[in-house]
Structures are given as structure tokens and as C-alpha cells.
Amino acid sequence: MSNFAFGTYRVTNENPQHIQAIIDAIEAGVRLIDTSTNYMDGASEKAIAKALRHFDETIRDEVEIVSKFGYIQGSNMLRHKEEPFEDVVEYSESCFHSISKSFMLDQLEKSLLRLELTQIDCYLLHNPEYYIFNALNKNMPRDEALDNMFDRIFDVFVALEEQVDNGTIKSYGISSNSFSKEHNDDEFLPYEDLITLAQKAAEIARNKTHSFTTIELPINMLETKGLKCATWAKKNGLRVLVNRPLNAQKGELMYRLADYNESSEYYNHLNELLQVSDSDELRSLYNMIEQLDDNKHKYGWIGDYDSFLYSQIIPHIQKSLEGLDEQSFNTMFSYVDMFLREYRKMVAYECSKNTRIALKEHLTECSVSLQECALKFLSQRENIDYILIGMRKSSYVYDIMALKE
């Protein structure tokens, strides 16, 4: 049976709840934590370090840390604009990527500092297929793009083998969404030759055996193509980490494979906020709250709402309140904050109802919660070693560990 591991995609060292969740997960028996240099711009790695301070050396040594490198975003993007990194793929305005040796060494050094470690248990290339995406956008023949990408992977494999020899990492691997694509998909990342590359890299680094140990990829109830890659990995002695167990894609749509309860406090906070904002001065806020209430059942999945919250709702609220004095602003902000907390619960509830309807053909044998069905589907797969789950609250930790029991 697969083990549950702690995924830190949206974890930050600035949130005490996140720190406590990591502590509670370790106390509950979680022994693998997955992070990346670009998760919250390095704050996830800092959060792990902060949580590990609560344990003695014996427990800390039992907890395996897996981190990743490759993305150039946030502070890395600012650094790149001042002094460019090597072999950079410019995928979009806000997302560049590199797996060059020099960038890997730079990121490894910073990961070690943030994690307060002298050695990382496993260091992964994070979605190296960005080179394929960029090459195809430039109309490069796919065979040529793959050859170039594998040359890049081989070069960094050699550098990683050297770091194993130096003692800064114990092992390495690849995390790739493209492992889960169809073999005939242009974005598929072929994996059959990776071990050969690792063996050759070990020879060049003068290591007796290669230290390529791990792959990470998305697999869930709706996206099962990655099971073929997982089978290959286990046959070749690799460890398999699965991400996105509850965030599933079907066609162009995303679904959250989890049931949520309806908020019992939502309408109280809605009515309170409408009442205090029913004035000419706050008319735009009043109108927005009414629109949000009318549309709470129209989000495709909870991720759509989260994106809309930061891109549209929060800026609109800030603009609506900017003319208030400090005391009035603080008062209104507290009403808005309580409303948004409950509104998200209502959106999640509505999304889970819609998910049940849209996926009814996949859920004919699901007589328990969606999340329990989704995690059971994965935990019973013999070719999966760890299921990575975001557990940013202690309550999430307890719920997940209860499922395991």
C-alpha cells in the first residue's frame, strides 16, 4: 500500500497554520515531504526548516526531503533580468525555465540554506519538458527537440552525480507532468532511456552506480496514463511519487475530487456585509457581493475561484475601500474577510455537487467521500510508493491520516 507524503505547493513559513500542519504530519508518521525552489518563491522550503526545528535529530533524520529545481519565477526572475542564467527557456512572460548545471548548482545552494540542511535526500528536475514545449512552438522537428532535451538532461545528470559524490544530495530524479501523457502526444516525455543516461552520467562522474532513484508524476482517478510509466519505473527499481491525486483533469476541465460541506454561516455573513455596504460610497462593493452570491455555483472547480479571487475580487475590494478612513476600512475589511472565508466554502460545496454530477460514470462504486475514493484508488496500486497531498491545516492532516487507518 502506498504511503501518504506532505506536498508543500502552497505552504509558506509566514503562516503558523502551515508550520503546525507539517509538525502534526510528522508526529502522525509522515516521513516524506515534497517541495520545490519555486513553491511560494522558496517560502515552502523555509517552512519545512521551521517545522523540523521542533524535533530532535533522530526524528529529523527519519524525514526525507525531496526538492526540485528548474523554474525561473519570482525572485529568480528578478535575478535573471539583472544577470541572465544559462540555457533558459522563455516559456511565458512570467515563467522561464532552466536545467543547466550552473542553474542547478545555484538553486541547490539556496535550497540547502532555506531548508537548513547540508544534504537533500532527493533533488528532482522539475518539468524539463518545457524545452519540448518551447521547441515545438518554434516549429523545431520533434525528434530534434527530443535529442536536444536529452542532451541537456544528460549534462545535468552528470552534475547531479557529482553532487552525490560531494555529499550535497543523496539521490536525484525527475518530476514531469509529461510522463502522464499519451505516447503519441507531442508533449509526452519518453522515459525508457533515462536509466541509460544516468548510468553513463555515473561513469563520467566516476561513481560505481547511478543515483537516479525517483520519478514524480500526476496520476488520479481521471488521469491514469501515468500508471504505465509507474509500472516501468518499478520494474527498473525506481521509486514513484504521485502528485495531484485530488486535482484531476478530464478534457479541458479540472475537477477537485473531494466532497465539501455547505457553510452554515455563509448567509449570516452575506447579509451582514450587504447591510453594512448598502450605501452610495460602497455601492460597487455591494454590487460585487451580490454578483458573487448569484454566481457561487458557476465555477468549474475551486481552482478557478482561487485564481479569480486574486486576479479580480481582491483588487476590486481594495479599490472599493480605498476612500475610507482607517477605522472604517478595518471594520469593513473584517466583514469582507469573514464573508470570503465562508464564500469559498460555499463555492467548494457547489463545485463538489457539480463534480458528482459530471463524473457520475466514474463514481458508480463510490459510496464514501470523493476524496476517500480518489485516495483509495491510488493507495491500492502496487506501483505507487508515495501519494503527495497538500495538507496546509492540521485538520487536513488528521482527515488524511484517518483515511490511511
pLDDT of residue 403: 81
Beta strands 32-34; 3-7: pairing state: parallel
Whole-number Å distance between alpha carbons of 156 and 162: 10
Do residues 212 and 193 touch, judged by C-beta distance below 8 A? no
Fold of 3-251+369-404: TIM Barrel (3.20.20)
* Sites in the chain below the pLDDT cut of 70: 1-2, 405
Report the residue count for the chain.
Answer: 405
Name the pTM for this structure.
Answer: 0.92
DSSP character for 262? P
Whole-number Å distance between alpha carbons of 158 and 138: 28
Whole-number Å distance between alpha carbons of 271 and 54: 43
pLDDT digits (tens, 9 = 90+) for 272-315: 999 999 999 999 999 999 999 999 999 989 999 999 999 999 99
Q: Which residues contact 401 (CB under 8 A, 6 or more apart)?
A: 4, 25, 28, 29, 30
pLDDT of residue 2: 67
pLDDT of residue 291: 97
pLDDT of residue 385: 97
Phi-psi region of 206 (alpha: psi -120 to 50; beta: other; left: phi over 0): left
Whole-number Å distance between alpha carbons of 402 and 405: 5
Q: Which residues contact 365 (CB under 8 A, 6 or more apart)?
A: none
Closest CA to 47 of 72, 96, 13, 76: 13
